[in-house]
Structure 1
Amino acid sequence: MAGEITDTGELYSPYVGLVYMFNLIVGTGALTMPKAFASAGWLVSLLLLVFLGFMSFMTTTFVVEAMAAANAQLRWRRTANPKEEDDDDSSTASDSDVLIQDNYEQAEKMPILSVQRRASPNLFEITDRVEMGQMASMFFNKVGVNLFYFCIIIYLYGDLAIYAAAVPFSLMQVTCSAAGNDSCDVEADSKHNDTDVCWGPLRRVDAYRLYLAVFTLLLGPFTFFDVQKTKYLQILTSLMRWIAFATMIVLALVRIGRGRGEGHPPLAELSGVRNLFGVCVYSFMCQHSLPSLLTPVASKRHLTRLVLLDYVLILAFYGLLSFTAIFCFRGDSLLDMYTLNFARCDVVGLAAVRFFLGLFPVFTISTNFPIIAVTLRNNWKTLFHREGGTYPWAVDRVVFPTITLVPPVLVAFCTHDLEALVGITGAYAGTGIQYVIPAFLVYHCRRDTQLALGPGALNKHRSPFRHTFWVAFVLLWALFCFFFVTANIVLSEAKL
């Protein structure tokens, strides 16, 4: 990555930023998408995927506009009050470090970057990394800031619960199948119940909870300390991710090409839309990481076009992965974690490939869990922080890590239904982060910018969706999604 080196690291080209953004969005959610596609029907799934991709692109442009407006206001304040520049610098760095610096998607895909600044004649040039938490503090009142942190915290709890369930579930599926010598049975994995025997006297659910306990004991202690992910570990996990995705797509295409495809997905199945919606929202999540992702881009002249290109590529990838899956495997045989469908020798003859795909989530998720936990812990500390105050050692080092770690582990102990966990996390907290927060940010930043800089100030990074109608449309859509998902959950529970 060539570019100007600042005190925070290296800038990178727009096309490198495009690759980073692709890696940022395409993560764990993609592994639960095939089953959600099969449950909702291929036509409904395709239409909803395209529409939610469009909505995510729109709110991404909202966040970019808010980033530029925040930079303009910070630059204007430094110009108007040069004596306060040092104070602004320190507060910006503090906010960036404490608020969202280790946020989920940045931690999963991006090098860790600090605040970077360089002089620019353009007031709206994005040169300062202003995180979502700092933008909330600039544009929202106290109630809005607290609601922002509440939404972020709920989302991170959902993330941790998904990760805490995915690793033991993958280990249980692979090791129990191997122990029972049924990994070559086409129906084996989909027919098993939690009460079936795994090995010896242990049931499958016992093996799952044993793996969960080991996972918690090994990775949980990191919550009590500060951790950072190295650039080389990110490269390794990204490489493993793309080897796994490419292998699954090729294997599914080969199987379909040989006439062995078993999938006959329905056109539409409305009962599966609730989970599909949550999975798709979760799979397009990137808004909370955009400041760390886009600020280091050296040239932002065509930033919106590059973001649009990224979304088109991501839609194509999600479609390819999901359509090959639903036509390769029967809908009732697709597992929550798609990689596990390839841990069978009727699909993959080479044992090493079967175990690599089956255990792939274990390697990638385990490296991200500690960083998400530390991020959540820091957000709890920031939410309750009072200026000038410090926490007692026991509260700082015991209470906050404990309330961070225990709830998601308890959720994972009670259920390993990954599709439901991803669906609920995306449908509720994901809706807030992806729709509600960006809409309010762009609305308030436009109003504040006009008040501070005058109606003639032109934001060069303003969203193509600049009319207030689009802000209202996003908020109405978020409200509809909330009631739709809630109603579906209530009806599902009533049927049970």
Structure 2
Amino acid sequence: MAGGITESGEPYSPFVGLVYMFNLIVGTGALTMPKAFAAAGWVVSIALISFLGFMSYMTTTFVIEAMAAANAQLRWKRRKQEENSKRVKTSEYKLCITPVFLLFYICCLSVGVNMFYICIIVYLYGDMAIYAAAVPISLMEVACGNHSCSAGSVKYNDTDPCWGSVTRKDAYRVFLSVFTLLLGPFTFFNAQKTKYLQILTSLMRWIAFTMMIVLALIRIGKGAGEGRPPVASLSGVPNLFGVCVYSFMCQHSLPSLVTPISDKKRVGALVVVDYVLILGFYVLLSFTAIFCFDSSLLHDMYTLNFTDNCNVLDIPFLRYFLGLFPVFTISTNFPIIAVTLRNNWKTLFHRDGGTYPWVVDRVVFPLITLVPPIVVAFCTHNLESLVGITGSYAGTGIQYIVPACLVFYARRNMEPVVGRDAVNKHRSPFRHAFWVWFVLLWAASCLMFVTANIILNDVKK
């Protein structure tokens, strides 16, 4: 997940909306996917990612339908107030700016609102921990790696030396401390991603991803690929599930993404095209990776496989570019996520307006936002596990449970308000109630499966 939320001040074309959605979904999760693919086996991986892509598409259509339904209800109530007792029937549903938390408030009970906020907060904590670990890891690998390429691709241990008596783990924590000191203060203020910064990070992302795919294809084409991934390995499925769910995350940002699209008649087609492209992109990136590199040498952050391997990339500048790519792109998103998480904490405890004491507003909320993910990043830099856990738990709630509840309550509450003749032009293709219950059952099954797997692994250890 890219982590950013698009600006919605000016309208844009459906094509720009397609690009924005692609950039929103494709982010850090894609860089952890190759290792997860290698661990689960290529047949299992392609089957699971295809199914999870389909599930994510379904719940995306649920959110869009709920957006239109919520807006129709708001418009109906507004007209009813204006015309007093005169009944107004809504002939069609339109998509308007309706934040997800407002949708949930309209469609569900207050308990559901609290559950949604908690789910979002847990997800954002996981996101911040992933970002806080990814930047220092990249800096450590660049600073401590084998830049002479004399030994080829080598996977180091945390206890290996970096600078004299300073180990790689020590270097990681030094970089994490610097990262916290430089970017942590943004949590205490307001920050917004500018349009030009978004364009720059998107451009860098596309250059880096394209380079990695092309370089891996060239190496495989020359017959120098080292990867021999298994066909199937069920032990890697739980983590792959979490990584894939995290990598398809966009539901929480759909209102700000879809609302500015000028021609919303093609929103449904836009979503289909985007998901097909993203699925193809993930499969291409991961398959070229697992057949290019030996599975035991794949890094949690895929870009690091190119920093010290001259057999794949012998141009020093480009090796540094790929190694530092996560540093530039993730660093720009970290303050945005931190401020978003801080504001969610504020809203959870005080949704009815009013102000907090200065110390609580400017000190307490920023600290409870910043400290936990930094502590987690200090304790572990296993990105694959962080992404897997974030996707498996918080990601399941945001991507499956919330959209299913949204559309369920939207459908149940709209008919008494606007009548049976009302037409929702943005209704999901999955109209039968079966799909809603299927998503909820799937989410519950996934949570139980992942939890059971974690418990079994702890018992084995």
TM-score range relative to shorter protein: over 0.9
**Which whole-Å CA distance do the structure 2 matches of 1:398 and 1:34 have between them?**
40
C-alpha distance in structure 2 between counterparts of 1:381 and 1:329, whole Å: 46
Question: Which amino acid in the other structure matches residue 418 of structure 2?
Answer: L
For the residue of structure 2 that corresponds to 1:390, the secondary structure is coil
* 184 and 74 in structure 1: CA distance in 2 versus 1, 3 angstrom threshold: farther
Matched, 1:427 2:392: yes
Structure 1 residue 299: Cα displacement: 1.2
1:173 maps onto 2:141 in alignment: yes
Q: Following TM superposition, by how much is the alpha carbon of 1:388 offset from its aligned partner in structure 2, in angstroms?
A: 4.7
Question: Which whole-Å CA distance do the structure 1 matches of 2:258 and 2:209 have between them?
Answer: 25
Bigger mean CA deviation after superposition, 386-395 or 73-82: 386-395
In the alignment, structure 1 residue 459 sits paired with structure 2 residue 446: no
Pairing of 1:206-355 with structure 2 (within 5 A): 206-344=170-308, 345-355=310-320
Contact 2:241-2:392 within 8 A present in 1 as well: yes
State the SS of the aligned residue for 1:157.
helix
Cα distance in 2, alignment partners of residues 205 and 183 from structure 1:
21
**1:185, 1:346 within 8 Å by CA — same for their partners in 2?**
no
If the length of structure 2 is used for normalisation, what is the TM-score? 0.95
* Match for residue 186 of structure 1 among 149, 152, 157: 152
Deviations 1:322-354 (A, max 9, x none): 000000001111000000000022321000000
1:253-272, CA deviations, whole angstroms, 9 ceiling, x for partnerless residues?
A: 01011111000110000010
Instruction: Provide the rounded CA distance (Å) in 2 between the counterparts of 1:303 and 1:236.
Output: 26
Task: Return the alpha-carbon distance in structure 1 between the equivalents of residues 351 and 72 of structure 2.
Answer: 27
Q: Please list, as runs of the form range in 1=range in 2, the aligned pairs for 1:347-386 lying within 5 A after superposition.
A: 347-385=312-350
Query: What is the CA–CA distance in structure 2 between the aligned matches of 1:27 and 1:83, rounded to whole Å?
Result: 48
Contact preservation (8 Å) 2:69, 2:410? yes
Q: 1:270-327 deviations in whole A, cap 9, x for unaligned?
A: 0101110000000000000111111111112132122111111111111110000000
Native 8 Å contact 2:30 2:247 kept in 1: yes
* Counterparts of 2:134 and 2:426, CA distance in 1: 39
SS of residue in 1 equivalent to 2:263? coil
Q: How many residues align structurally?
A: 448
Aligned with 2:264: secondary structure? Answer: coil
Q: Which runs of 5+ in 2 are unaligned?
A: 1-7, 85-89
1:157 to 125, 129, 138: 125
TM-score by length of 1: 0.89
Counterpart residue number, 2:87: none
Shift of 1:407: 0.1
Tell me, in whole angstroms, the C-alpha distance in 2 between the residues paired with 1:47 and 1:230: 38
User: Residues of 2 paired with 1:18 and 1:257: CA distance?
Assistant: 32
Specify the alignment match of 2:381 in structure 1.
Answer: 416
One-letter amino acid of the counterpart of residue 147, structure 1:
M
1:124 is aligned with what amino acid? Y
Distance (whole Å) between structure 2 residues aligned to residue 58 and residue 419 of structure 1: 26
Q: Residue 109 of structure 2: which of 141, 145, 148 is its match?
A: 141
Match for residue 74 of structure 1?
74
What's the CA shift for 1:74? 1.1
In structure 1, distance between residues paired with 2:34 and 2:214: 15
Q: Against the structure 1 CA distance between its residues 388 and 412, is the aligned structure 2 distance closer, same or farther, given a 3 Å change threshold?
A: closer
In the TM superposition, what whole-angstrom CA distance separates every residue of 1:373-396 from its partner, at most 9, and x where no partner exists?
A: 000000000000052532000000
1:23 Cα offset (Å) = 1.0
The answer (yes or no) to whether the contact 2:153–2:305 under 8 Å persists in 1 is no
**SS, match of residue 198 in structure 1:** strand
**Residue in 2 aligned with 1:479?**
444
8 Å Cα contact 1:33-1:279 kept in structure 2: yes
Inter-partner Cα distance in structure 2 for 1:123 and 1:315: 32
CA shift, 1:42, in A, is 0.1
Report how far residue 83 of structure 1 moved: 9.0
Q: Secondary structure at the match of 1:459?
A: coil
Cα separation, 2, equivalents of 1:66 and 1:479: 22
Task: Give the share of equivalent positions with the same residue, in percent.
Answer: 69
Give the CA deviation at 1:183. 4.1
Deviates more, 1:380-389 or 1:280-289: 380-389
Q: CA deviation at 1:177?
A: 1.1
2:151 counterpart letter in structure 1:
D
Deviation at 1:82, TM superposition (A): 2.8
Look up the match of 1:35. Answer: 35
- Indicate if the aligned counterparts of 1:264 and 1:327 stay in contact, CA closer than 8 A: yes
In structure 1, give the amino acid aligned to 2:402.
Answer: I
Matched, 1:404 2:372: no
Supply the AA of the counterpart residue of 2:443.
Answer: A
- Distance in 1 (CA, whole Å) between partners of 2:344 and 2:83 is 30
Map of 2:404 onto structure 1:
439
Deviations 1:373-429 (A, max 9, x none): 000000000000052532000000000000000000000000000000000000000
- Paired with 2:236 and 2:330, the residues of 1 have a C-alpha distance of 26
Note the aligned Cα RMSD (angstroms).
1.3
Matched letter for residue 130 of structure 1: T
Determine the C-alpha separation between the residues in 2 that align with 1:164 and 1:304: 35
Query: What is the distance in 1 between the residues matched to 2:305 and 2:82?
Result: 61
Distance in 2, matches of 1:386 and 1:262, equals: 55
Match of 1:24 in 2: 24
User: 1:61: which partner in 2?
Assistant: 61
In 2: Cα distance, 1:340 partner to 1:46 partner: 23
Cα-to-partner distance string for 1:425-480 (whole Å, 9 max, x where unaligned): 00000000000000000000001101211222221111110100000000000001
User: Which residue is 1:125 aligned to?
Assistant: 94
Corresponding residue for residue 92 of structure 1: none
Shift of 1:215: 0.2
Given the superposition, is the C-alpha separation of residues 287 and 400 from structure 1 closer, same or farther in structure 2, using an over 3 Å criterion? same
Please identify, of 378-387 and 329-338, the stretch whose mean Cα deviation from structure 2 is larger: 378-387
Verify the 8 A CA contact 1:280 1:426 in the aligned structure 2.
yes
User: Does the CA contact (< 8 Å) of 1:76 and 1:123 recur in 2?
Assistant: no
